[in-house]
Structure 1
Amino acid sequence: MPVTIDKVVAFSHHPLAPTASEPPPERRFEGTPKQGTANYFTDSTRQLDAGFWESEPGKWHAVSERNEFCYILEGHVRIADEQGNSKDFRKGDAFMIPYGFKGTWQILEFTKKYYVIFVPESR
């Protein structure tokens, strides 16, 4: 069966209310950041997701059990590895976080991003 244009998802044309969450207490270093996620697409294998995420300022331990592409729409993020090396990302920046990354996410200003996540079958 052909995939038709009605299966093409334009995030801005179909705004979803983000589902509220926050990092688990045992992973937080700073703050209790309120977060929201709106998943716009999941493929038939359930390995690929794409959507929108937002977060208040805070810092938490991150362990990536997936490959994640991020595009920052607004805000300021600092991601650091376990050795203390860090990179800052702001509006317009796009980046990949590979499977197996361990470190911290720090939201320095309220941040909004689009994401695409791929979870490998075998880890």
Structure 2
Amino acid sequence: MTHTYNPVEIVAADLESKPLAPPSAEPLSGEIITRSRVEFANDERTIISGTWESDPGTSRWEFLTRGEIIHLLEGAMTVQRDGEDAVALTPGSVAYFPIGWTGVWTVAEPVRKFYVVYR
């Protein structure tokens, strides 16, 4: 089944709101509210895609059992893989977090991203 949509057209009311928490990530700067909606998942849930938003804050991410590809639609953030320099992401940026990636995300401005998670 094919489903096409424009992630920019999704409004916050369409997204599920909840605090960021393990196993997704560990907030480092207090509570961080996120909003998300899954648009696609295959039957085995080895591929999942959708839209995700986050309020500003700093969090630790460990992609130990899954990888992720993101396309930042709005906002500004930096990602810093352990032992490496931080990389700034702005609207239009694409980033790849392979299985095994660990590091810190710092959301400076509220972000909206389209994501694909794979296992």
Shift of 1:11: 2.6
> CA–CA distance in 2 between the matches of 1:44 and 1:37?
20
- Residues 51, 115 of structure 1: 8 Å contact kept: yes
Q: TM-score when scaled to structure 1?
A: 0.82
1:22 aligns with 2:19: yes
- Residues 50, 114 of structure 1: 8 Å contact kept: yes
- Residues 47, 118 of structure 1: 8 Å contact kept: yes
Secondary structure of residue in 2 paired with 1:103:
strand
For 1:69, the equivalent position in structure 2 comes to: 69
1:2-21 counterparts in 2 under 5 A? 7-12=1-6, 15=10, 17-21=14-18
Secondary structure of residue in 2 paired with 1:11:
coil
> CA–CA distance in 2 between the matches of 1:55 and 1:19?
12
Tell me which amino acid in the other structure corresponds to 2:67: N
Shift of 1:83: 1.9
Q: TM-score when scaled to structure 2?
A: 0.85
Runs ≥4 residues deviating over 3 A: 13-16
For 2:34, the equivalent position in structure 1 comes to: 35
Shift of 1:77: 1.3
Structure with greater Cα Rg: 1
Deviations 1:38-87 (A, max 9, x none): 00000122100010000000001110131111000001111112225211
For 1:55, the equivalent position in structure 2 comes to: 54
- Residues 31, 57 of structure 1: 8 Å contact kept: no
Shift of 1:12: 2.4
* Unmatched tracts of structure 2, length 5 or more: none
Structure 1 vs Structure 2: percent identity of aligned residues? 21
Q: Which moved more, 1:15-24 or 1:72-81?
A: 15-24
For 1:108, the equivalent position in structure 2 comes to: 108
Q: Which moved more, 1:82-91 or 1:20-29?
A: 20-29
> CA–CA distance in 1 between the matches of 2:102 and 2:75?
22
Shift of 1:24: 2.4
